[in-house]
Amino acid sequence: MGETPGTLTLVATPIGNLGDMTYRAVETLRNVDLILAEDTRHSRRLMSHYEIATPLMSYHDHNETRVTPSIIERLQRGENIALVTDAGTPGISDPGFYLVRAALDAGITVTMVPGANAVLPALVLSGFPSEVFVFAGFPPRKSGALARTIDSLADDPRTTIFYVSPHQLHKVLDALAEKLPDRSVAVARELTKVHEEVARGSAVEMRDRFASANARGEFVVVVKGIGRQRRADEQS
């Protein structure tokens, strides 16, 4: 190891279809000294598929505070380290942000190998306006906070995108149907996988469509913004 600090590289990985891994991502993961993974068991399957033998280390919400200082020390000693999430782009709704801030504060070079994510495919496949949009992450779990979040969309002209866990899907769709019954909503499930599905309709239609379904897989819920004409009519 030299005295020159190493580089922290965020590497996007497939959200389902292993064929979405980029050549540069594979090369980077093969050449770094260490890969930080949200779930090493999950990431090990990907590494095995691409014959990547680089050591893996767990890095997630429950240990980020404890292990980040030692990671920074290794980077300062000259090691090159990659960060991956379970699926998609690290730093989006996962602990990557914490490490990036720590590395930048320590003067470490941080770079990115872009690739798959669920936000943009869901947005494009929804068929809703995409010139201006909001990625709102995971919606609140508590009913009151969720209701306030949905209420805030009533006058918003922007398309809004949520990540929604299977356990929260019915709750989120119920809230949308109650607060914004006629608003257009798209529900994307298992993007890039064999059972990929994008359902589109009003909030009420989406609630009813998934009401009796056993929600499985990863979901992205896209809510169309209020139309310009409708907004003008309501203000007149």
Condensed to tens digits (0 to 9), the pLDDT of residues 48-80 reads: 999 999 999 999 988 999 999 999 999 999 999
pLDDT, residue 95, reads 76
CB 201 within 8 A of CB 151: no
Segment 92-108 mean pLDDT = 91
119-235 shares the fold of 7-113: no
29-55 pLDDT tens trace: 999 999 999 999 999 999 999 999 999
229 in helix, strand or coil? helix
Average pLDDT, the chain: 93
Is the pLDDT confidence value at 200 over 50? yes
pLDDT, residue 106, reads 97
pLDDT, residue 229, reads 43
105-150 pLDDT tens trace: 999 999 999 999 999 999 999 999 999 999 999 999 999 999 999 9
Q: What kind of architecture, by CATH, is found in domain 7-113?
A: 3-Layer(aba) Sandwich (3.40)
pLDDT, residue 236, reads 43
Segment 159-167 mean pLDDT = 95
Q: Tokens standing for 76?
A: 């300062």
- Residues 66 and 75: their CA atoms lie apart, in Å, by 16
**Total-model pTM:** 0.88
Is the pLDDT confidence value at 196 over 80? yes
For residues 42, 43, 47, 53, the Cα torsion angle rounded to the nearest 10 degrees is -120
Domain residue spans of the chain: 7-113, 119-235
CA-CA distances (angstroms) from residue 131 to 54, 115, 123, 134, 155? 40, 21, 10, 10, 17
What number of other Cβ atoms are within 10 A of residue 120's Cβ?
14
Segment 150-176 mean pLDDT = 96
CB 132 within 8 A of CB 38: no
119-235 belongs to CATH 3.30.950.10 = yes
pLDDT band at 166 (very low <50, low <70, confident <90, very high): very high
- Residues 184 and 205: their CA atoms lie apart, in Å, by 9
